[in-house]
Amino acid sequence: MTPDEEWGLIGKVAIVTGGGSAGDGIGNGRAACILLARAGAKVMVVDRDLALAERTVAMIEAEGGTAVAVSYDVTTSAQCEAMVADAMSRWGRLDCLDNNVGIGSRGSVVEETEENWARVMHVNVDTMFLTCKHAIPAMIRSGDGGAIVNISSISALRPRGLTAYSVSKGAVIALTQAMAVDHGPDGIRANCVFPGPVYTPMVYAKGMTEQARETRRKASVLGREGNGWDIGRAVRFLLSDQARFITGQVLGVDGGATLVGPSRAS
Rule CB under 6 A: which of 146-165 touch ligand NAD?
Answer: 151, 153
DSSP letter, residue 22: S
Catalytic residue numbers read 165
Residue 153 C-alpha from the chain's centroid? 10
74 and 83 Cβ atoms separated by less than 8 Å = yes
Residue 22 C-alpha from the chain's centroid? 16
In the beta sheet, which residues pair with residue 226? 198
Q: Work out how close the CB of 90 gets to other proteins at its nearest, in angstroms, rounded to a whole number.
A: 29
How many residues belong to the chain? 266
Rule CB under 8 A: which of 84-143 touch other proteins?
Answer: none
255 and 226 Cβ atoms separated by less than 8 Å = yes
Residue 159 in the binding site for other proteins (CB under 8 A):
no
Q: How far apart are CA 232 and CA 18, in angstroms?
A: 13
Q: Work out how close the CB of 107 gets to other proteins at its nearest, in angstroms, rounded to a whole number.
A: 28
Q: Work out how close the CB of 251 gets to other proteins at its nearest, in angstroms, rounded to a whole number.
A: 6
Rule CB under 8 A: which of 167-196 touch other proteins?
Answer: 177, 180-181, 184-185, 187, 189, 196
Q: How far apart are CA 183 and CA 194, in angstroms?
A: 21
Q: How far apart are CA 62 and CA 66, in angstroms?
A: 10
Rule CB under 6 A: which of 77-106 touch ligand NAD?
Answer: 100-102
Residue 201 in the binding site for ligand NAD (CB under 6 A):
yes
φ and ψ at 99, to 5 degrees? -85, 95
Per-residue contact string for residues 204-243; x = within reach of ligand NAD by CB under 6 A: ------------------------x---------------
What lies within 8 Å, CB to CB, of 59 at 6+ separation is 30, 34
Q: For residue 176, how many other CB atoms are within 10 A of its CB? A: 25
Q: Work out how close the CB of 250 gets to other proteins at its nearest, in angstroms, rounded to a whole number.
A: 9
Q: How far apart are CA 49 and CA 46, in angstroms?
A: 9
Q: Work out how close the CB of 5 gets to ligand NAD at its nearest, in angstroms, rounded to a whole number.
A: 26
Per-residue contact string for residues 41-60; x = within reach of ligand NAD by CB under 6 A: -----xxxx--x--------
What is the contact surface with ligand NAD in residues (CB under 6 A)? 17-18, 20-21, 27-29, 46-49, 52, 73-75, 100-102, 123, 151, 153, 195, 197-198, 200-203, 228
What is the contact surface with other proteins in residues (CB under 8 A)? 4, 177, 180-181, 184-185, 187, 189, 196, 198, 220-224, 226, 230, 233-234, 237, 241-249, 251-256, 258-260
